[in-house]
Amino acid sequence: MILESKSFQLFPESASNFATQVDGLYGYMIVISAFFSILVAFLIIFFAVKYRKRPGVTVASHTDDHSIGAMLLEIAWSVIPLGLSLVMFAWGASIMFQESRPPKDSLNVYVTGKRWMWKVQHLEGAREINELHIPVNRNIRLTLTSEDVIHDFYVPAFRTKTDVLPGRYTTEWFRPTKVGQYHLFCAEYCGTKHSGMVGTVYVMSVEDYNKWLAQGNGEGSMAEDGESLFRQLGCGNCHMPDGHGRAPDLHGVYGMNVDLSDGSRIRADESYIRESVLYPQAKIVAGYDRIMPTFKGLISDEGMLKLIEYIKSMGNPNGVVSERPLAKEPSDIQKTGPMALPESEYKAPAGGPRPSAATGKQQ
The site that binds other proteins (CB under 8 A) totals a number of residues, namely 93
**What is the greatest pairwise CA distance in the chain?**
102
Amino acid at the residue 199 = G
CA distance 2 to 280: 47
Residue 10 contacts other proteins per CB under 8 A: yes
Least Cβ distance, residue 232 to other proteins (angstroms)? 24
User: Is residue 286 at the binding interface for other proteins, with CB under 8 A as the rule?
Assistant: no
Measure the CA–CA gap between 52 and 18, rounded to whole angstroms: 50
Part of the chain binding other proteins (CB under 8 A), chosen from 88-96, 201-209, 219-227, 255-263: 88-96
Instruction: Please identify, among the stretches 65-73, 201-209, 256-264, 320-328, the one whose residues bind other proteins according to the rule CB under 8 A.
Output: 65-73
Residues contacting residue 223 through CB under 8 Å, at least 6 positions apart: 123, 306, 309, 310, 312, 313, 356, 357
Burial class for 101, CB neighbours closer than 10 Å (0-12, 13-18, 19+) = middle
Interaction residues for other proteins, span 208-237 (CB under 8 A)? none
Select from 189, 318, 323, 351 the one that contacts other proteins (CB under 8 A): 189
- The DSSP bridge partners found for residue 133 are 202
Of the candidate spans 95-103, 134-142, 236-244, 347-355, the one that interacts with other proteins by CB under 8 A turns out to be 95-103
Residue from 136, 143, 134, 139 nearest 103 by CA: 139
CB of 152 to other proteins, least distance (A): 6
Q: Is 93 in the site for other proteins (CB under 8 A)?
A: yes
- Interface residue with other proteins, options 124, 128, 152, 343 (CB under 8 A): 152
Residues 223/357, Cβ–Cβ less than 8 Å: yes
Out of 1, 20, 40, 291, point to the residue binding other proteins (CB under 8 A): 40
| C-beta of residue 15 within 8 angstroms of C-beta of residue 176 | yes
58 lies in the site for other proteins, by CB under 8 A: yes
Does 329 participate in binding other proteins (rule CB under 8 A)? Answer: no
Q: Does residue number 73 form part of the binding site for other proteins (CB under 8 A)?
A: yes
Task: Tell me: does residue 82 bind other proteins (CB under 8 A).
Answer: yes
CB of 21 to other proteins, least distance (A): 7
Q: Is 152 exposed, middle or buried (0-12, 13-18, 19+ CB in 10 A)?
A: buried
**Please, are residues 121 and 107 in contact by the beta-carbon 8 Å criterion?**
no
Asked if residue 167 binds other proteins (CB under 8 A), the reply is yes
Q: Which of 27, 103, 243, 337 binds other proteins (CB under 8 A)?
A: 337
Q: Judged by CB under 8 A, which of 14, 127, 136, 149 binds other proteins?
A: 149
In terms of DSSP bridges, do strands 198-204 and 131-135 run parallel, antiparallel, or are they unpaired?
parallel
Q: Provide, rounded to whole angstroms, the least separation between the CB of residue 149 and other proteins.
A: 4
For residues 136 and 149, which CB has a smaller minimum distance to other proteins in the complex?
149
Q: Which residue of 20, 94, 261, 294 would you call a contact of other proteins, by CB under 8 A?
A: 94
Identity of the residue, 218 or 330, whose beta carbon is nearer to other proteins in the bound complex: 330
CA distances from 87 to 20, 84, 179 (A): 18, 5, 33
Q: Which residues contact 221 (CB under 8 A, 6 or more apart)?
A: 123, 124, 125, 309, 355, 357, 360, 361
339 binds other proteins (CB under 8 A): yes
Instruction: Give the span between the Cα atoms of 135 and 116, in whole angstroms.
Output: 26
Piece in contact with other proteins (CB under 8 A), picked from 33-41, 248-256, 283-291, 354-362: 33-41
